[in-house]
Chains A and B, each alone.
Chain A
Amino acid sequence: MDEMKDVILEYVKQEYLEEDDEYDIDENTPLISGGIVDSFSMVSLKRFLERKYDIQIPDADATPQAFDTVNNIIELVNRFQAK
């Protein structure tokens, strides 16, 4: 679980924060409502998760709410990994 958290957090920091951004994020930081990841960018994040964890997340489940924090994302990935 912690490993997944670290991987996703690292990916979000690397891909969605600016290089010299001093804004730090953790697993509870709102990503979508906080404006770090917008609804268009969610698609590349979803694609990353699907590849990394070898899952398929149906569009109906890829809601802004499900992607709003790293914790929510972990829950989503776990749900589809279990299937």
Chain B
Amino acid sequence: MMSNIGLHEKELKNFDWSISEQELGYKKGDPINIGWYCSDRICRLGQGSKLALIWEDFKGNNRQFTYDDIRLYSNSFADFFKKSGLNPGDRICIFMDKIPELYISFLGILKMGGIAQPLFSAFGDESLLTRLENAGTSAILTQRKHVSKVRKIRDRLPDLRHIIVVDAPASALKEGETPYDMYSAPRVEEFECYKSNADTPSVLHYTSGTTGQPKGAQHVHYSLISQYLTSKWVLDLQDNDIYWCTADPGWVTGTSYGIIGPWSNGVTQAVLDSGFNAERWYAFIAKHRITVWYSAPTAIRLLMKEGVPAAKKHDLSSLRHLCSVGEPLNAEAVIWSREAYDLPFHDTYWQTETGSIVITNYPGMNIKPGSMGKPFPGITATVVDPEKYAPIDQAGKVGLIALKPGWPSMFRSYWNNREQYESKFKNGWYISGDRASIDQDGYFWFVGRDDDVINAGGHLIGPFEIESALLEHPAVAESAAIGKPDPINMEVVKVFVALKPGHQADDDLELKIMNFIRKRLSPLAMPQEIEFVDSLPKTRSGKIMRRLLRAKEWNEPIGDISTLEND
């Protein structure tokens, strides 16, 4: 089968994003609304009866939705938001497991001009509070099983006017909470979508940095242009595909490629609302004849742990293209996937801020196992030196991955933090914060982060958020969080903790601290190791030297310690 990008080979040299605009029937200056493009437009193309979503949960419950179904249900959501007094530009948070209402309400929010703010449903109340407070969120859509976390913090959120619960009757709710049952809500045949333009905010995804609390990367409706074409050319989505993206829409992959990419291409996607279970995952692929699978290195390494025979037990012959995202895909995983599935996983690289894939291994390309691949057409990428931010010409020399601004899905700001946004651009480049080298053939090779951010299973965690939360534990005087190497997740959180006088370091306290962070922040942020120390290494100005702790953990050179405080 000829790949989508293969058909465009001649155009690649003079690539222009107008290829995507033309395919979508968009002309500069026209209104552009992602919600409309992902549902109404597909129906207008005569595909209304085609399956848009095949959904299943771990209990085996399942539902199917055609494009006409998602058009109508998202109309109903949009109409409900409007009638509830929500306005274009309002931030509406989606805090749900991977249930159909998550995917469909996302389109409904965009249709009425709201800004969708999806958050990972495993977040604890403190993580939720930080992000809702920062965004000044007006409404949250959630489930009965998660509403208790919202109840704990609602008094501290004056802007939060609506708590909408999608799976509970009014009798199960408290004052100020509204039930909304998508299936019985009034059917809205026609909804006039908000006339958003290319620069209208669409989605707010929170991501972490070294300093401060998480920042909301703000995207616009024009991001569709990148998300549509990268789904078509990198994931190679074609008309008859059944596509499975394992990412949770609480993270950017789950919206860019778990909603917008497949649905703007009119492709059928399957969703499994279940935790990891190799047997269950393979049975899902076999049952639904999944053809294109987009997953993450952490999941792939867990599957590797189960071995090749576990894969061979199932009929996975429907698979034709595999991609991976979140952290670098190690060479062993690429080689193993050839053995287990007779297909290699194609690594793709991008970030919350980039909104779509920017460096990748696309179909038909010669894969160098372990490499990130090459820039997507239309993306100018290089590595720059960390001082002057000038491109490095020498093959194999490590620098910071930098992108020339201007691709359609580039974030447009950090919410309420313009200064931090502007600090990401140096010498005319967007500086990613990731380090890599480029070989003589133009392939990028990932090296690591340039800061203290921890990449746990493909999710970035800021050490500051963990350290701030730890300060609220009664036994903790001070702490430092770093990433430590992990064979499955690339990194996991390790914290160094100095206790307050009167507290004893022991196994019980260690477990209590682990659970304290897990519940307040998230399981991803939970330290998997705690080292109790008398004091932490600091600079003379009192700043904790995480770099020193990290270097020791990774057996790396300690570097300059001239600023280290002497005891």
Contact = CB atoms under 8 A, between A and B. Distances in A.
A19 B147 CA distance: 11
Nearest to B506: A51
B47 interface: no
A48 B302 contact: no
Interface of A: 15, 18-23, 30, 32-41, 43-44, 47-48, 51, 60, 63-65, 68
Interface string B266-307: 000000011111111000000000000000001000100110
B82 interface: no
Contacts of B306: 63
Contacts of B528: 40, 43
A65 to B, nearest CB: 7
Nearest to B272: A33
A61 B296 CA distance: 22
Nearest to B510: A47
Contacts of B511: 44, 47-48, 51
B547 interface: no
21 contacts: A15-B519, A20-B148, A21-B145, A22-B144, A35-B273, A35-B274, A38-B276, A38-B523, A39-B488, A40-B489, A41-B518, A41-B526, A43-B492, A43-B526, A44-B511, A44-B514, A51-B507, A51-B511, A63-B306, A64-B278, A68-B277
B97 A15 contact: no
B22 to A, nearest CB: 42
B523 A19 contact: no
B136 interface: no
Nearest to B299: A39
Among all A-B residue pairs, the 7 with the closest Cβ atoms: A33-B277, A40-B523, A41-B523, A18-B148, A35-B275, A44-B514, A33-B58
Nearest to A47: B511
Nearest to A15: B515
Interface in B511-542: 511, 514-515, 518-519, 523-524, 526, 528
Interface size class of B (residues with CB under 8 A): 35 or more
A65 B278 contact: yes
Given A43-B492, A43-B528, A44-B526, 14 more contacts: A20-B148, A21-B145, A30-B275, A30-B277, A32-B277, A35-B58, A37-B275, A40-B456, A40-B524, A43-B514, A47-B514, A51-B507, A51-B508, A64-B302
A36 B58 CA distance: 11
Interface string B478-511: 0000000000110010000000000000011011
Contacts of A68: 277
Contacts of B151: 20
B50 interface: no
Contact of A64 (B59, B276, B507): B276
B277 A65 contact: yes
A21 B274 CA distance: 19
A37 B511 CA distance: 16
A36 B97 CA distance: 11
Nearest to A22: B144
A15 to B, nearest CB: 6
B470 to A, nearest CB: 15
Contacts of B510: 47
Nearest to B279: A65
Interface string B59-78: 10000000000000000000
Nearest to A59: B487
Contacts of B515: 15, 44
A16 to B, nearest CB: 9
B149 interface: yes
B253 to A, nearest CB: 17
Given A30-B58, A38-B523, A43-B526, A64 B457 contact: no
B146 interface: yes
A20 B148 CA distance: 7
B122 interface: yes
Interface in B130-181: 144-146, 148-149, 151
